[in-house]
Amino acid sequence: MAERFERHRQPWTPEELGKLHTLAAKGIPLKAMAKALTRSEESIKARAKQDGLKIAKLR
């Protein structure tokens, strides 16, 4: 069963955005980003697309 996040539809804080940009620059996979930021993968994908970030894909 998928993990549930209590922070549903909460606005992004500047600290979270900075961490998202840092993790994306390091090439961290989406699942690890979701755990580090305690947000859903869909939320992270949407914000990354909005900010023009590339997310690493596992091979």
Structure confidence at residue 59 (pLDDT): 59
Cβ neighbours of residue 7 closer than 8 Å, sequence gap 6 or more: 38, 39
Q: Could you list the residue range(s) of the whole structural domain that residue 33 is in?
A: 14-51
| Start-to-end C-alpha separation, the chain | 23
* Residue 1 belongs to some domain of the structure: no
* Residue 6 belongs to some domain of the structure: no
Domain tally for the chain? 1
Structure confidence at residue 9 (pLDDT): 78
The H-or-E segment that residue 25 falls in is helix 14-26
What is the pTM for the complete model shown? 0.80
Which parts of the chain register pLDDT below 70? 1-7, 58-59
Structure confidence at residue 6 (pLDDT): 63
Structure confidence at residue 34 (pLDDT): 92
Structure confidence at residue 17 (pLDDT): 94
